[in-house]
Homo-oligomer: A and B are copies of this chain.
Amino acid sequence: MLGFGTVGEGTYRMLTDNADEIARKTGARGEVIKIGIKDASKPRTLPATMFTTDLEAVVRDPNIDVICELMGGESPAGEMVELALSLGKHVVTANKELIAKHGSRLITKARELELDLHFEAAVGGGIPVVQPLKHQLAGNDVIKLMGILNGTTNYILTQMEENGADFSDALAEAQAKGYAEADPTNDVDGFDTMYKISILAAIAFGKQVPLDKVHREGIRKVSASDMKYAKQFGYKIKLLGICEETADDQVLVRVHPTMIPLGHQIASVRDVYNAVWLHGDFVGDLMFSGRGAGAHPTASAVVGDLIDVMRNIIIGGSGSAIPYGTGLATTSISELETRYYLRFEVEDRPGTLGEITTAFGRRSVGLAAMEMRTKVGGKGEIAFLTHVCREANFLTALEEVSRLPCVAKVENYIRVEQ
């Protein structure tokens, strides 16, 4: 085992607590032989003899058949996984960044060497989704896939929605509860979700997604005010990772706050829960939901992978994963056609509404719903829902509207799913 943070400890505990059950299901007993860690000075719950800071020694140990990589990050995890494969060892990892960036190469290498490389825990924590996409759903052409893939941001958005909290207060609360890190960038700016949706897109569409082609926005701009209007319009705001077919062998992959109709299944996923919703050509609509993070749920996925590796070693069935290629062709988000929510601060005077709506009309951006209210100091606030329009058109119109004298400020805009 490489890494012994919360997930590492959870995995060790699950392997120990449920050892008999696991032995029955695999026909063999696994044993954690050595644990590689970065920091020898941290207090540990196991005897010191179990640990070493010499990661490579763990990987090279001839008594070890399977490397369970739970350190996270690109390096040194990537080098250790490569080395393990080169030495003929199976790998189970929870490392989303590594798989999102190097999955194609690593899976190809594992396949060539007839080794297993499993990463169920990299997406959706304990929710089985990576392997079901690869196996039970493999016959489907996936038309669209959307996921709430980050528990921290879903917790923050749930607090904002249900308790009227501002983003900064909800973030502080998430940090106090241990759901968010001191530097929350990875979660709230959508990097974590980007890695995860990229992995799901690679499996669904058969090619690795260039990460610089994924449109990524976080939730920092979402306000308590947006939450109120969303509710009035009949929506919830969720940070979604979305991938969908836009043309033959071309997809659009994106991460951004999204308004979801209250009646959509994924709208009901609260707190730290994650969910993956998809539409396949034969299976139709499908949703998986559960705990997407935390020591125990993530351990559940890691141990499930370890059980599969053990079974495959016994039966001689290792290395069955079909590698995906690289360079998935992507569509620019400027070609997206969807509805938009947007919110302005305006001058509260006669003519304002007419000027704004006329400007949108000139650019063929149709308005479907509106809410307005008076603010103090001669200002007002207007929120719109548009009809379906092309993102490039919408942004041009928005830019023109923002220059109208009656518009004090464009506060926010959020894409809307139907």
Contact = CB atoms under 8 A, between A and B. Distances in A.
Interface in A15-58: 15, 17-18, 21-22, 24-27
Which residue of A18, A140, A299, A322 has the most chain B CB atoms within 10 A of its CB atom? A140
A120 to B, nearest CB: 6
A131 interface: yes
Nearest to A284: B291
A299 B306 CA distance: 29
Identical chains bound together, number: 2
B289 A126 contact: no
Interface in A298-314: 299-301, 303-308, 311-312, 314
Nearest to A126: B283
Contact of A301 (B15, B136, B287): B136
Contacts of A10: 282
A380 to B, nearest CB: 37
Contacts of A290: 283-287
A304 B22 CA distance: 25
A62 to B, nearest CB: 25
Nearest to A287: B289
Interface residues of A, number: 63
Interface of A: 10, 14-15, 17-18, 21-22, 24-27, 114, 120, 126-128, 131-132, 134-141, 206, 265, 268, 280-291, 294, 296-297, 299-301, 303-308, 311-312, 314-320, 322
A300 B139 contact: yes
Nearest to A295: B282
Nearest to A127: B286
B322 A18 contact: no
27 contacts: A14-B139, A14-B282, A18-B139, A18-B140, A18-B282, A21-B139, A21-B206, A22-B138, A26-B322, A27-B322, A126-B280, A128-B128, A137-B304, A265-B268, A268-B268, A282-B299, A282-B300, A283-B301, A284-B290, A286-B288, A286-B289, A286-B291, A287-B288, A287-B290, A311-B322, A315-B318, A317-B317
A238 B86 CA distance: 53
A191 B362 CA distance: 62
A320 B18 CA distance: 20
Contacts of A306: 139
B14 A138 contact: no
B303 A139 contact: yes
